[in-house]
Copies of this chain bind each other. A is one copy, B any other.
Amino acid sequence: MAQQRRSSSRSSNGSKAATITQVARQAGVSTATVSRVLSGQDGVSETLVQRVHEAARVLDYQPNRVARNLRRQATQIIGVVISDIQNPFFTSLLRGIEYVIEGAGYTLLLTNTDEDEKRERMYLATLRAEGVAGIIIAPCQGNRDAYCAFEDGATPMILIDRAIPESTLDAVTVDSRQGVFDAVSHLIQLGHTRIGLVGGPDRVSTASDRKAGYLQALSQAGITLNPAYLQSGDYRQESGYEAMRRLLELPVRPTAVLAANNLMTLGTLQAIHTYGLTIPDDISVVGFDDMAWAGSLKPSLTAVMQPTYELGLSAGKLLLKRIQDPQRAPERVILGTHLIIRDSCGPIIKK
Protein backbone atom coordinates (compact mmCIF):
# COMPACT_ATOMS: atom_id res chain seq x y z
CA MET A 1 0.00 0.00 0.00
CA ALA A 2 2.45 2.62 1.16
CA GLN A 3 4.84 1.95 -1.65
CA GLN A 4 5.47 5.37 -3.16
CA ARG A 5 6.04 7.80 -0.35
CA ARG A 6 6.39 11.36 -1.56
CA SER A 7 4.14 13.54 -3.72
CA SER A 8 2.56 10.69 -5.63
CA SER A 9 0.83 12.46 -8.49
CA ARG A 10 1.41 16.05 -9.61
CA SER A 11 4.59 17.60 -10.79
CA SER A 12 7.28 16.81 -8.30
CA ASN A 13 9.95 19.09 -9.77
CA GLY A 14 11.64 20.75 -6.83
CA SER A 15 8.85 22.15 -4.69
CA LYS A 16 7.90 25.77 -5.49
CA ALA A 17 4.79 26.48 -7.48
CA ALA A 18 5.21 27.13 -11.18
CA THR A 19 5.06 30.72 -12.44
CA ILE A 20 3.69 32.16 -15.61
CA THR A 21 7.22 32.61 -16.94
CA GLN A 22 7.91 28.89 -16.67
CA VAL A 23 4.69 28.09 -18.45
CA ALA A 24 5.60 30.57 -21.18
CA ARG A 25 9.01 29.03 -21.64
CA GLN A 26 7.58 25.52 -21.62
CA ALA A 27 5.04 26.45 -24.27
CA GLY A 28 7.51 28.55 -26.25
CA VAL A 29 5.37 31.68 -26.11
CA SER A 30 5.37 34.98 -24.22
CA THR A 31 3.89 35.44 -20.77
CA ALA A 32 1.31 37.75 -22.31
CA THR A 33 0.01 34.90 -24.40
CA VAL A 34 -0.16 32.60 -21.43
CA SER A 35 -2.07 35.22 -19.52
CA ARG A 36 -4.48 35.71 -22.40
CA VAL A 37 -5.14 32.03 -22.82
CA LEU A 38 -5.62 31.28 -19.16
CA SER A 39 -7.90 34.21 -18.51
CA GLY A 40 -10.03 33.13 -21.41
CA GLN A 41 -9.49 36.07 -23.75
CA ASP A 42 -9.89 35.32 -27.39
CA GLY A 43 -7.65 36.45 -30.17
CA VAL A 44 -5.11 33.69 -29.69
CA SER A 45 -4.57 31.06 -32.36
CA GLU A 46 -5.84 27.59 -31.69
CA THR A 47 -2.32 26.14 -31.85
CA LEU A 48 -1.00 28.37 -29.11
CA VAL A 49 -4.06 27.88 -26.96
CA GLN A 50 -3.38 24.15 -27.07
CA ARG A 51 0.33 24.56 -26.37
CA VAL A 52 -0.33 26.81 -23.39
CA HIS A 53 -2.92 24.55 -21.87
CA GLU A 54 -0.64 21.59 -22.28
CA ALA A 55 2.27 23.42 -20.65
CA ALA A 56 0.07 24.56 -17.77
CA ARG A 57 -1.11 21.02 -17.25
CA VAL A 58 2.39 19.60 -17.29
CA LEU A 59 3.64 22.11 -14.73
CA ASP A 60 0.49 21.94 -12.62
CA TYR A 61 0.33 25.69 -12.96
CA GLN A 62 -1.99 27.71 -10.72
CA PRO A 63 -1.95 31.47 -11.38
CA ASN A 64 -0.71 33.35 -8.34
CA ARG A 65 -3.66 35.31 -7.09
CA VAL A 66 -1.63 37.66 -4.99
CA ALA A 67 0.27 38.89 -8.01
CA ARG A 68 -2.90 39.11 -10.05
CA ASN A 69 -4.61 41.07 -7.33
CA LEU A 70 -1.76 43.50 -7.03
CA ARG A 71 -1.68 44.09 -10.75
CA ARG A 72 -5.41 44.37 -11.13
CA GLN A 73 -5.77 46.42 -7.99
CA ALA A 74 -8.69 44.27 -7.04
CA THR A 75 -9.23 40.96 -5.32
CA GLN A 76 -11.78 38.22 -5.73
CA ILE A 77 -12.49 38.14 -2.03
CA ILE A 78 -15.56 39.29 -0.17
CA GLY A 79 -15.14 39.94 3.53
CA VAL A 80 -17.95 38.99 5.86
CA VAL A 81 -17.91 40.41 9.36
CA ILE A 82 -20.13 38.47 11.70
CA SER A 83 -20.87 39.49 15.24
CA ASP A 84 -21.20 35.99 16.69
CA ILE A 85 -20.09 32.99 14.72
CA GLN A 86 -21.47 30.66 17.37
CA ASN A 87 -24.95 31.90 16.73
CA PRO A 88 -26.63 29.71 14.11
CA PHE A 89 -28.62 32.68 12.91
CA PHE A 90 -25.51 34.29 11.51
CA THR A 91 -24.12 31.13 10.03
CA SER A 92 -27.39 30.51 8.26
CA LEU A 93 -27.08 33.91 6.61
CA LEU A 94 -23.85 32.66 5.14
CA ARG A 95 -25.65 30.08 3.05
CA GLY A 96 -27.43 32.76 1.08
CA ILE A 97 -24.35 34.94 0.82
CA GLU A 98 -22.23 32.03 -0.35
CA TYR A 99 -24.69 31.12 -3.04
CA VAL A 100 -24.61 34.53 -4.69
CA ILE A 101 -20.99 35.35 -4.06
CA GLU A 102 -19.52 32.07 -5.22
CA GLY A 103 -21.69 32.11 -8.29
CA ALA A 104 -19.95 35.34 -9.19
CA GLY A 105 -16.48 33.84 -8.67
CA TYR A 106 -15.64 35.32 -5.30
CA THR A 107 -14.42 33.64 -2.17
CA LEU A 108 -15.64 34.47 1.32
CA LEU A 109 -13.24 35.78 3.91
CA LEU A 110 -15.09 35.33 7.14
CA THR A 111 -14.29 37.13 10.37
CA ASN A 112 -15.92 37.07 13.77
CA THR A 113 -16.11 40.04 16.12
CA ASP A 114 -17.87 38.47 19.08
CA GLU A 115 -19.80 41.72 19.49
CA ASP A 116 -16.54 43.45 20.35
CA GLU A 117 -16.06 46.90 18.83
CA LYS A 118 -12.31 46.72 19.06
CA ARG A 119 -12.16 43.46 17.19
CA GLU A 120 -14.56 44.84 14.64
CA ARG A 121 -12.37 47.87 14.03
CA MET A 122 -9.32 45.70 13.65
CA TYR A 123 -10.95 43.33 11.19
CA LEU A 124 -12.35 46.16 9.13
CA ALA A 125 -8.85 47.63 8.83
CA THR A 126 -7.43 44.24 7.91
CA LEU A 127 -10.05 43.64 5.26
CA ARG A 128 -9.38 47.02 3.71
CA ALA A 129 -5.65 46.44 3.74
CA GLU A 130 -6.25 43.04 2.23
CA GLY A 131 -8.02 44.84 -0.59
CA VAL A 132 -11.26 42.90 -0.47
CA ALA A 133 -13.74 43.61 -3.25
CA GLY A 134 -16.49 44.29 -0.74
CA ILE A 135 -17.73 43.71 2.79
CA ILE A 136 -20.94 42.40 4.26
CA ILE A 137 -21.25 43.23 7.93
CA ALA A 138 -23.60 42.63 10.84
CA PRO A 139 -22.40 45.68 12.76
CA CYS A 140 -21.95 45.27 16.48
CA GLN A 141 -22.84 48.83 17.28
CA GLY A 142 -25.32 51.40 16.08
CA ASN A 143 -22.96 54.34 15.81
CA ARG A 144 -22.72 55.66 12.29
CA ASP A 145 -19.20 57.05 12.79
CA ALA A 146 -17.73 53.59 13.03
CA TYR A 147 -18.68 52.83 9.45
CA CYS A 148 -18.86 56.15 7.67
CA ALA A 149 -15.31 55.70 6.41
CA PHE A 150 -16.89 53.19 4.04
CA GLU A 151 -19.58 55.51 2.78
CA ASP A 152 -17.26 56.84 0.09
CA GLY A 153 -17.61 53.50 -1.65
CA ALA A 154 -13.89 52.80 -2.05
CA THR A 155 -14.61 49.47 -0.38
CA PRO A 156 -18.29 48.70 -0.91
CA MET A 157 -20.06 47.70 2.28
CA ILE A 158 -23.48 46.19 2.90
CA LEU A 159 -25.15 46.05 6.30
CA ILE A 160 -26.96 42.85 7.10
CA ASP A 161 -29.50 42.12 9.86
CA ARG A 162 -28.77 45.34 11.70
CA ALA A 163 -29.38 48.84 10.40
CA ILE A 164 -27.52 52.01 11.30
CA PRO A 165 -29.48 55.23 11.63
CA GLU A 166 -28.66 57.86 8.99
CA SER A 167 -26.10 55.66 7.31
CA THR A 168 -26.01 55.84 3.51
CA LEU A 169 -24.85 52.24 3.23
CA ASP A 170 -27.00 49.60 1.58
CA ALA A 171 -28.77 47.46 4.13
CA VAL A 172 -30.83 44.28 4.35
CA THR A 173 -32.82 43.82 7.50
CA VAL A 174 -35.82 42.01 8.87
CA ASP A 175 -38.94 43.74 10.07
CA SER A 176 -38.30 42.84 13.70
CA ARG A 177 -40.89 45.26 15.02
CA GLN A 178 -43.67 43.64 13.05
CA GLY A 179 -42.42 40.15 13.89
CA VAL A 180 -42.55 40.77 17.61
CA PHE A 181 -45.83 42.59 17.25
CA ASP A 182 -47.37 39.51 15.63
CA ALA A 183 -45.98 37.20 18.28
CA VAL A 184 -47.10 39.28 21.23
CA SER A 185 -50.50 39.82 19.64
CA HIS A 186 -50.77 36.05 19.38
CA LEU A 187 -50.14 35.78 23.12
CA ILE A 188 -52.70 38.48 23.81
CA GLN A 189 -55.25 36.64 21.72
CA LEU A 190 -54.67 33.60 23.89
CA GLY A 191 -55.73 35.74 26.84
CA HIS A 192 -52.36 36.72 28.22
CA THR A 193 -51.93 40.18 29.68
CA ARG A 194 -48.91 39.58 31.91
CA ILE A 195 -46.34 39.20 29.15
CA GLY A 196 -42.62 39.39 29.78
CA LEU A 197 -39.89 40.37 27.36
CA VAL A 198 -36.40 38.95 27.47
CA GLY A 199 -34.91 41.67 25.32
CA GLY A 200 -31.57 42.35 23.66
CA PRO A 201 -28.88 45.01 23.99
CA ASP A 202 -30.26 48.42 23.10
CA ARG A 203 -27.30 49.54 21.03
CA VAL A 204 -28.26 47.00 18.38
CA SER A 205 -31.08 48.02 16.07
CA THR A 206 -32.81 44.65 16.09
CA ALA A 207 -33.08 44.77 19.87
CA SER A 208 -34.69 48.19 19.98
CA ASP A 209 -37.01 47.29 17.10
CA ARG A 210 -38.12 44.18 18.91
CA LYS A 211 -38.76 46.11 22.06
CA ALA A 212 -40.79 48.60 20.02
CA GLY A 213 -42.92 45.79 18.60
CA TYR A 214 -43.56 44.50 22.10
CA LEU A 215 -44.62 47.91 23.38
CA GLN A 216 -46.79 48.52 20.35
CA ALA A 217 -48.68 45.23 20.71
CA LEU A 218 -49.30 45.94 24.37
CA SER A 219 -50.49 49.48 23.86
CA GLN A 220 -52.67 48.55 20.92
CA ALA A 221 -54.43 46.00 23.12
CA GLY A 222 -54.82 48.54 25.88
CA ILE A 223 -52.52 46.71 28.24
CA THR A 224 -50.48 48.90 30.55
CA LEU A 225 -46.81 48.14 30.52
CA ASN A 226 -45.36 46.70 33.68
CA PRO A 227 -41.74 47.89 33.48
CA ALA A 228 -40.63 44.94 35.58
CA TYR A 229 -41.71 42.64 32.77
CA LEU A 230 -39.14 44.23 30.54
CA GLN A 231 -35.81 42.55 31.20
CA SER A 232 -32.87 42.46 28.89
CA GLY A 233 -29.58 40.78 28.18
CA ASP A 234 -26.84 40.74 25.57
CA TYR A 235 -28.26 38.18 23.11
CA ARG A 236 -26.25 35.38 24.68
CA GLN A 237 -27.69 32.33 26.37
CA GLU A 238 -26.48 33.07 29.87
CA SER A 239 -28.03 36.53 29.86
CA GLY A 240 -31.33 35.06 28.73
CA TYR A 241 -31.20 32.72 31.69
CA GLU A 242 -30.56 35.60 34.07
CA ALA A 243 -33.26 37.80 32.58
CA MET A 244 -35.82 35.03 32.82
CA ARG A 245 -34.81 34.32 36.40
CA ARG A 246 -35.53 37.94 37.25
CA LEU A 247 -38.95 37.62 35.67
CA LEU A 248 -39.69 34.44 37.59
CA GLU A 249 -38.62 35.98 40.89
CA LEU A 250 -41.26 38.68 40.53
CA PRO A 251 -44.11 38.61 43.09
CA VAL A 252 -46.62 38.46 40.26
CA ARG A 253 -44.89 36.76 37.46
CA PRO A 254 -45.76 36.84 33.76
CA THR A 255 -47.88 34.07 32.26
CA ALA A 256 -46.12 34.38 28.94
CA VAL A 257 -42.74 35.52 27.69
CA LEU A 258 -41.09 36.43 24.44
CA ALA A 259 -37.35 35.91 24.09
CA ALA A 260 -35.76 38.31 21.66
CA ASN A 261 -33.30 35.98 19.98
CA ASN A 262 -32.49 32.30 19.61
CA LEU A 263 -29.72 32.00 22.20
CA MET A 264 -31.64 33.91 24.85
CA THR A 265 -34.56 31.59 24.16
CA LEU A 266 -32.37 28.69 25.23
CA GLY A 267 -31.48 30.52 28.42
CA THR A 268 -35.13 31.32 29.02
CA LEU A 269 -36.13 27.68 28.70
CA GLN A 270 -33.34 26.65 31.01
CA ALA A 271 -34.55 29.07 33.69
CA ILE A 272 -38.12 27.86 33.37
CA HIS A 273 -37.00 24.26 33.81
CA THR A 274 -34.84 25.22 36.78
CA TYR A 275 -37.90 26.65 38.47
CA GLY A 276 -39.78 23.44 37.78
CA LEU A 277 -42.42 25.14 35.70
CA THR A 278 -44.26 23.53 32.83
CA ILE A 279 -44.64 24.97 29.35
CA PRO A 280 -47.24 26.02 28.33
CA ASP A 281 -49.39 25.29 31.41
CA ASP A 282 -47.46 27.51 33.79
CA ILE A 283 -45.97 29.82 31.24
CA SER A 284 -46.13 30.28 27.49
CA VAL A 285 -42.98 30.93 25.48
CA VAL A 286 -42.35 32.45 22.07
CA GLY A 287 -38.88 32.66 20.62
CA PHE A 288 -37.63 35.14 18.08
CA ASP A 289 -35.79 33.29 15.32
CA ASP A 290 -36.66 29.74 14.40
CA MET A 291 -33.74 27.41 14.85
CA ALA A 292 -32.99 23.80 14.03
CA TRP A 293 -33.68 22.67 17.55
CA ALA A 294 -37.10 24.37 17.83
CA GLY A 295 -38.88 21.27 16.62
CA SER A 296 -36.85 18.95 18.83
CA LEU A 297 -37.89 20.64 22.05
CA LYS A 298 -40.71 19.29 24.09
CA PRO A 299 -43.04 21.03 23.80
CA SER A 300 -41.93 22.24 20.41
CA LEU A 301 -41.33 25.94 20.25
CA THR A 302 -43.58 28.61 18.81
CA ALA A 303 -41.24 31.05 17.12
CA VAL A 304 -40.90 34.00 14.80
CA MET A 305 -39.15 32.69 11.71
CA GLN A 306 -36.71 34.98 9.98
CA PRO A 307 -35.96 34.51 6.28
CA THR A 308 -32.27 33.90 6.90
CA TYR A 309 -31.43 32.49 3.52
CA GLU A 310 -33.13 35.36 1.71
CA LEU A 311 -31.38 37.80 3.98
CA GLY A 312 -28.02 36.46 2.86
CA LEU A 313 -29.14 36.28 -0.74
CA SER A 314 -30.23 39.91 -0.79
CA ALA A 315 -27.07 41.10 0.88
CA GLY A 316 -24.96 39.24 -1.65
CA LYS A 317 -26.91 40.63 -4.58
CA LEU A 318 -26.79 44.14 -3.21
CA LEU A 319 -23.04 43.90 -2.83
CA LEU A 320 -22.59 42.64 -6.36
CA LYS A 321 -24.69 45.52 -7.67
CA ARG A 322 -22.74 48.00 -5.59
CA ILE A 323 -19.40 46.66 -6.84
CA GLN A 324 -20.61 46.94 -10.41
CA ASP A 325 -21.95 50.44 -9.96
CA PRO A 326 -20.44 52.27 -6.99
CA GLN A 327 -22.52 55.35 -7.80
CA ARG A 328 -25.97 53.81 -7.45
CA ALA A 329 -28.33 55.17 -4.82
CA PRO A 330 -28.27 53.34 -1.47
CA GLU A 331 -30.86 50.62 -1.24
CA ARG A 332 -32.60 49.26 1.82
CA VAL A 333 -34.30 45.92 1.76
CA ILE A 334 -36.61 44.96 4.60
CA LEU A 335 -37.85 41.38 4.73
CA GLY A 336 -40.87 40.07 6.58
CA THR A 337 -41.08 37.39 9.27
CA HIS A 338 -43.49 34.54 9.81
CA LEU A 339 -44.93 33.27 13.09
CA ILE A 340 -44.62 29.50 13.37
CA ILE A 341 -47.17 28.26 15.85
CA ARG A 342 -46.16 25.07 17.64
CA ASP A 343 -46.87 23.88 21.17
CA SER A 344 -45.17 26.25 23.58
CA CYS A 345 -48.04 28.71 23.91
CA GLY A 346 -51.35 27.94 25.49
CA PRO A 347 -54.47 29.86 26.47
CA ILE A 348 -54.42 31.39 29.91
CA ILE A 349 -56.36 29.12 32.19
CA LYS A 350 -54.90 28.68 35.57
CA LYS A 351 -53.99 30.84 38.54
B17 A64 Cβ-Cβ under 8 A: no
How many Å from the CB of A221 to the closest CB on chain B? 29
Q: State which of B67, B91, B129, B149 has its C-beta within 8 Å of the C-beta of A63.
A: B129
Q: Is A298 an interface residue (CB 8 A)?
A: yes
Q: Is A323 an interface residue (CB 8 A)?
A: no
B contact residues around A70 at 8 Å (CB): 64, 66-67, 70
CB interface residues, A 155-208, toward B, < 8 Å: 166
Contact with B along A63-74 (1 / 0, CB 8 A): 111110110000
A10 B149 Cβ-Cβ under 8 A: yes
CB interface residues, A 1-54, toward B, < 8 Å: 1-2, 6-10, 12, 15-17
- Tell me how many chains of this kind the complex includes: 2
Interface residues on A, range: 35 or more
Q: Is A324 an interface residue (CB 8 A)?
A: no
Q: Is A331 an interface residue (CB 8 A)?
A: no
- CA–CA, A194 to B237, complex, Å? 36
B contact residues around A88 at 8 Å (CB): 86, 88
Q: State which of B2, B7, B85, B296 has its C-beta within 8 Å of the C-beta of A152.
A: B7
- CA–CA, A131 to B298, complex, Å? 49
B65 A292 Cβ-Cβ under 8 A: no
Q: Is A125 an interface residue (CB 8 A)?
A: yes
- CA–CA, A105 to B65, complex, Å? 21
Q: Can you name the residue of chain B whose Cβ is closest to the Cβ of A265?
A: B296
Q: Is A110 an interface residue (CB 8 A)?
A: yes
- CA–CA, A166 to B2, complex, Å? 8
Q: Is A95 an interface residue (CB 8 A)?
A: yes
- CA–CA, A147 to B125, complex, Å? 33
B149 A126 Cβ-Cβ under 8 A: no
Q: State which of B126, B130, B293, B298 has its C-beta within 8 Å of the C-beta of A293.
A: B293
15 A-B pairs within 8 Å (CB atoms) are namely: A2-B166, A10-B149, A15-B154, A64-B129, A67-B70, A77-B109, A86-B91, A91-B91, A108-B111, A266-B293, A266-B296, A267-B296, A270-B295, A270-B296, A297-B297
Besides A9-B148, A269-B298, 13 new A-B residue pairs in contact (Cβ under 8 A), listed by A number: A6-B151, A8-B148, A62-B125, A66-B70, A70-B70, A86-B292, A107-B109, A266-B296, A267-B296, A269-B296, A273-B300, A297-B297, A297-B298
